[in-house]
Amino acid sequence: MRKHYWLLALFISLSASLQAKPLLLENQYQIFEGEKTSLQAVIGTKPVYLKFWATWCLECRHELPSLEQAYQKHRDQIAMFAVNLNINETDEAIKKLQQKNQLTIPILMDNNGTIAGNFEFKGTPFHVLINRKGEVVYTTYKDDAQLAQQLALLAKNSAVSAQGVNTSTVHQTQAKPLPSGVSLVYFSATWCDWYMKDIHPEISNNCIYAQQAVDKLYRSTPGLQLSAYVTHLWTEAKDVEEYSKKFSLPYKVAMDDNNDEFRRFKVSGYPTLIVFEDGIETARFTEFDQGDNTFNALKRALEKH
């Protein structure tokens, strides 16, 4: 737990950014227990506040009461959404926190990171303020007096301070082609086993069992083409190194910058292992067990090709 807050503190310095290009969004997004809505249709017509969060993010939970207070105060002037990352998420977990905190703010479900991917943030909670012109004028990891002040200015349609802010563009990268023949792409997180242990032990165990299955498969299959990624969320380069040493991994693990590969292959949670043949997906595994069932299923998936 302490490591999570320490990591989050490192990213506080990335306090603000301006968006120079239009946001890349899908046509519609689902409101939790509601209808679909067009975020793109709202942006550019009135001020917008996006608060990114997840039910398993402890700091996000702590901020839910103040989020609802801000919504009640500014809902008539600002279009406000609690944007759930929709990673390793369940309706039951969302509903529980929604009821506990008496949330009435619309909970917008991100779709494969197509909202979050516009902002290149390193963890949640994360706050984005967009003015009436559709310009991102303020971002922060902190729910503090400065955020409250910027929200008040945004509600008045005043010029939100951009002092000391760096301009940036929407993040886009060139997709790497998959190798010919049979190949695997594996997604996990450096913190999945320990951070999720108390919050969602079933997810923690699933990550551990996935790691064991993938390692065993790689060691027992000479020449196996495997691309392994860990999310950039709450993760630095040194965390990837520590993760590799911790599990004595026999293969290289890369940081999935801005979750580009995660979005590319439409992954919805960690861990996920995808089998490809000549770039075409043939199997996908998201549930792993402690025994050899998953390992044997993976072997059979490879033997089919």
Residue 267 has pLDDT above 50, yes or no: yes
Are 105 and 68 in contact by the 8 Å Cβ rule? The answer is: yes
Domains within the chain, CATH numbers bracketed: 2-168 (3.40.30.10), 182-303 (3.40.30.10)
Closest residue by Cα to residue 54 from 18, 16, 83, 23:
83
pLDDT (0 to 100) of residue 257: 94
| Percent of the chain topping pLDDT 70 | 87
What percent of the residues of the chain are helix, what percent strand, and what percent coil, each to the nearest 5? 35, 20, 40
* pTM summary value: 0.87
Amino acid type, 298: L
Amino acid type, 147: L
Mean pLDDT of the residues in the chain: 89
Q: Which residues have C-beta within 8 Å of that of residue 145, sequence separation ≥ 6?
A: none
Pick 23 or 186 by higher pLDDT: 186
Q: Hey, which of 47-56, 151-160, 296-305 has the most confident mean pLDDT?
A: 47-56
Residue 48 has pLDDT above 50, yes or no: yes
150-183 pLDDT, tens digit per residue, is 999 999 986 555 443 333 444 455 678 899 999 9
Closest residue by Cα to residue 81 from 94, 68, 93:
68
Amino acid type, 204: S
Residue 28 has pLDDT above 60, yes or no: yes
pLDDT (0 to 100) of residue 164: 36
Q: Which residues have C-beta within 8 Å of that of residue 63, sequence separation ≥ 6?
A: 51, 53, 125, 143
Residue 42 has pLDDT above 50, yes or no: yes
114-143 pLDDT, tens digit per residue, is 999 999 999 999 999 999 999 999 999 999
